[in-house]
Amino acid sequence: MLLPWDVAAACSAGLGTVTVAARASRRPRAVAAAAFTWEAGIVLGLYAVWQWAGSLGRRNVDSALSRGEAIWNFEHWLHLPSEQSIEHAVLPHSLLAQAANVFYLGVHVPALVAFLVWLFVRHRDSYSEWRNTGALLTGAVLAIQFVAVAPPRLLPKLGFVDMAAVYGQSVYGDGGVGAATQVAAMPSMHVAWALLVAAGVIAVSRSRWRWLVLAHPILTVVVVVATANHWWLDGLVVVPLLAASYCVQAGVRRAIGSWRRPPADLAPAGQRYGAVSVRRP
């Protein structure tokens, strides 16, 4: 079960208080720990906003179903592979199907947290860049999700099956209410965060093994489709959203850097005109 938004908000506030107290103590170890508690509080605060915003989505199911069918028809027009064939290939295999359900439920949040911790510990200079990108990406996904779109599993007339319900692993309750709203399929937050993790690792790491992280978004896409929780397009639309989020945060960072940089006419003379060597007689 995911952490409720109110618990996450309380933890975020608590960590903020700890951070203030640690910085006020001016003890070296406390000040060093404050950097971690501050960032942990920010992440928990963003998580609380995500959970709270998702809880607002109790939308008209009929319009969501019609939009889901529209996506199905559009994908057929694009000649994309059938989600139904992927699900029916996995559904008869009990262990594989249950593993896919567990992956869908429990991997996206821990993977994102592990990515942020790795950045904070190993690549602190790149941490805020990707944290801000993730915050913008999550906000963009949430904003679009307020337009209700049903996932494939809510359209049995098209041949889809709710795989999690078949194996008793569903986290959703009746009427579209559960751990998350059932009619917020477009875009996929699972795919969004998986792509964020992969892009960040590839951009920051210099290991030749970093490309293996691409397995994470690929497996995520296969899982969300195989479990009938998302359409192909739910994942595809995340790609431009991620690119836009990164460009926006990069532009803001450059603008802030330019604003903080002193104008040329106020810079020290040595910086304006370059060092002048004076030869002594």
CA distances 104 to 35, 83, 225, 278, Å, are 32, 16, 10, 69
**Whole-prediction pTM:** 0.80
- Residue 136's CB is within 10 A of a number of other CB atoms, namely 19
Q: Tokens at residue 279, please?
A: 């030869």
The pLDDT value recorded for residue 276 is 46
Q: Tokens at residue 21, please?
A: 């107290």
The pLDDT value recorded for residue 87 is 92
The pLDDT value recorded for residue 176 is 41
The pLDDT value recorded for residue 205 is 93
Q: Where are the alpha helices (DSSP H) in the chain?
A: 5-25, 28-55, 61-77, 83-90, 94-106, 108-122, 124-145, 163-166, 189-204, 215-226, 232-236, 238-260, 269-273
Phi-psi region of 181 (alpha: psi -120 to 50; beta: other; left: phi over 0): beta
140, 246 Cβ separation under 8 angstroms: no
Report the alpha-carbon distance of residue 219 to residue 103 in Å, rounded. 9
The pLDDT value recorded for residue 111 is 94
Low-confidence stretches of the chain (pLDDT < 50) are: 174-179, 273-281
